[in-house]
Each structure stands twice: as structure tokens, then as C-alpha cells.
Amino acid sequence: MRTPMVAGNWKLNGSRESATSLAREVAATPVAGVDVVVCPVSVHTAEVAEVLEGTDVKLGAQNACAHEGGAYTGEVSSTMLAEFGCEYVIIGHSERRSLFGDDNESCAARHQAVMAAGLTSIFCVGETLEDREAGNTMAVVDAQLQAVFDVCGTQAFDGAVIAYEPVWAIGTGVTASPEQAQEVHAHIREFVAAQDQQTAAKLRILYGGSVNAGNAQELFGNTDIDGGLIGGAALKSADFLAVCQAAAAQA
Ligand code: PGA
């Protein structure tokens, strides 16, 4: 039985003040049976960590460098994040891939560094609308995952989390239908199972892309959907907690 997970991706939002209040509000309502994670902007990590100490809410980050340290201006390493109590790192988010040049190979290297540091990678995959319309959804997702297997071997996702986020659904208000999402999630599990069955059976696969309090339950009700990666709806505690409750209802 997989414990559902809901992770809030705060993206480039908030101030020291608003980030800590949001964390405080989320932590004030424990949601039993769900792993709840928040991923603030990296400069807010220390203060959010302080707020979350002793609560059930876990801390994550939005990216991490493939290297431990050295001449990598602007990057943050997994070990540095771990020092603040970060347990999760989002890798390969579509905004990183489309706006900042993170490609399949560098995402695989980042994933490897996160896992090697003892943190959990939330590895994002997903197709553009063009890919979907051309019938290439599974091929795109497979290539994103295969790059990680190529670098990390058959156990690449042992203990990791995968997030399926169709690019056309992120921040658009258009969500994948539960059937569309389940189809890709089942495919991802099979793809991972072809490398390692045990990893696939326990692998949490989150859906992301315009999830909100209104559509979460229907999405999370599917066999291979183990929770969500939430953007916009993670910025208001009431909305985010409602999504967490929807995941708890499936637990
Ligand atoms: P959204 O973002 O919920 O605002 O669509 C999801 C994400 O980018 O992880």
C-alpha cells in the first residue's frame, strides 16, 4: 500500500513573511495518512524549516545541482538543502526544462545527486500539447525516464517519486481528465517495472497540472495516481489543505 503524497510547489512566489505564514497555516492542520510536502523558494528554506520543525509537514526544494560544490554559480546542492532539513527535491519540472535549459541528461544527473545525498527526488515528466496531438505522449515520457535509467541503472527510482505533469495542464486551468492521467501513470509504472518490479510496485506517481480542491478527488481516485504536485492551489493554505484532504480520502 502506497502512502499518498501531496507536494506544494511554491515556484517563484512569496516573501519571508508570506512563506513562513503559509507554512505555519499548512502545518496547523495535520492531515492523517498523507505525506504533505512544501517546496518554497530556496532562500526561504531556512525560515520555513524553522516553522515546520516538529510538525508533520515535510520540506522540499524546487531544484538542486548535479554537483556537490565548486564553480557552479547560482546553483544549490542537495547536501546544502539537507542541512536545512530538506527531504525532497523537485527535479526536471517543465519550467526548468523549457525556460532554463535543464534537459534529459542534466535532469538525470541532478536526480542522481539528490538520491546520492539521501534525499528523495520528485522527478517530473510530461509532454507538450504538440507532443500529445502528434501521439507522442508515451515516447516523450519514456525518453525522460530512460535518461535517468541510463545514468542511474535499473534501481534509478528506488525510493524516488515521479510526477506526471502534462505541460499543457500546468498553470492553465486545463487539467488532464482522470482517464488521460491514469493511462499515463499506468504506463509509467509499467515502464519502471520493466527495469525493476519492486521499485514500480512501491513507486509513488503524482499527478500535476491545475489540480485544485474541485478536481483532486476524481484524479486521486485512480489506481496509479498516488497524490499530486500542486502549483497555484498550493499558495493558499485552505486550497492546499483541501487537496491534501482529497488525498487522505483515498488513503
Ligand atoms: P499548477 O502547477 O498546479 O499551477 O498547474 C503545477 C506544477 O507546476 O507543479
Q: Which of 119, 189, 106 is nearest to 148 (CA)?
A: 106
Q: Is pLDDT at 250 greater than 90 in this prediction?
A: no
With a pLDDT cut of 90, the percent of the chain lying above it is 99
Average per-residue pLDDT for the chain: 97
pLDDT band at 46 (very low <50, low <70, confident <90, very high): very high
Q: Considering the entire predicted model, what is its pTM? A: 0.98
Compute the distance from residue 175 Cα to the ligand 1 centre, in Å. 10
> Mind listing the pLDDT tens digit for each residue in 206-228?
999 999 999 999 999 999 999 99
Binding pocket residue ranges, ligand 1, CB within 6 Å:
9, 165, 170-171, 208-211, 229-233
pLDDT band at 68 (very low <50, low <70, confident <90, very high): very high
Catalytic residue list contains 165: yes
Q: Is 187 among the residues known to form the active site?
A: no
DSSP state of 96: H
Query: 70 CA distance to ligand 1 centroid (A)?
Result: 32
Distance 241 CA to ligand 1 centre (A): 15
Atom of ligand 1 lying closest to residue 95 CA = 8
Assigned CATH for 5-249: 3.20.20.70
What pLDDT, on a 0 to 100 scale, did the predictor assign at position 106? Answer: 98
pLDDT digits (tens, 9 = 90+) for 12-36: 999 999 999 999 999 999 999 999 9
Q: Report how far apart, in Å, the C-alpha atoms of 219 and of each of 109, 175, 213, 241, 243 are.
A: 31, 10, 11, 16, 11
- The alpha carbon of 125 and the centre of ligand 1 are apart by a number of angstroms equal to 13
Tell me which of 95, 111, 165, 185 is the catalytic residue.
Answer: 165
Residue 70 region by backbone torsions, left for phi larger than 0, else alpha for psi between -120 and 50, else beta: left
Pocket test for ligand 1, best of 170, 172, 220, 244 (most atoms within 8 A of CB): 170
Q: State the pLDDT confidence band at 1, using cuts at 50, 70 and 90.
A: confident
Residue of the nearest CA to atom 7 in ligand 1?
231
Domain segments of the chain as ranges: 5-249
Instruction: State yes or no: pLDDT of 251 exceeds 80.
Output: no
Pair type for strands 58-61 and 86-91: parallel
Query: 11 pLDDT exceeds 80?
Result: yes
Rounded alpha-carbon distances, angstroms, from residue 65 to 77, 118, 133, 229:
5, 14, 33, 21
Exactly one of 44, 93, 111, 185 is catalytic; name it. 93
Q: State the closest ligand 1 atom to the C-alpha of 170, by its place in the atom list counted from 1.
A: 5
Q: How far is the CA of 231 from the centre of ligand 1 (A)?
A: 3
pLDDT at 178 over 90: yes
Residue whose Cα lies nearest atom 2 of ligand 1: it is 231
Pick the residue with more confidence: 168 or 251?
Answer: 168
Among residues of the chain, what percentage have pLDDT more than 70? 100
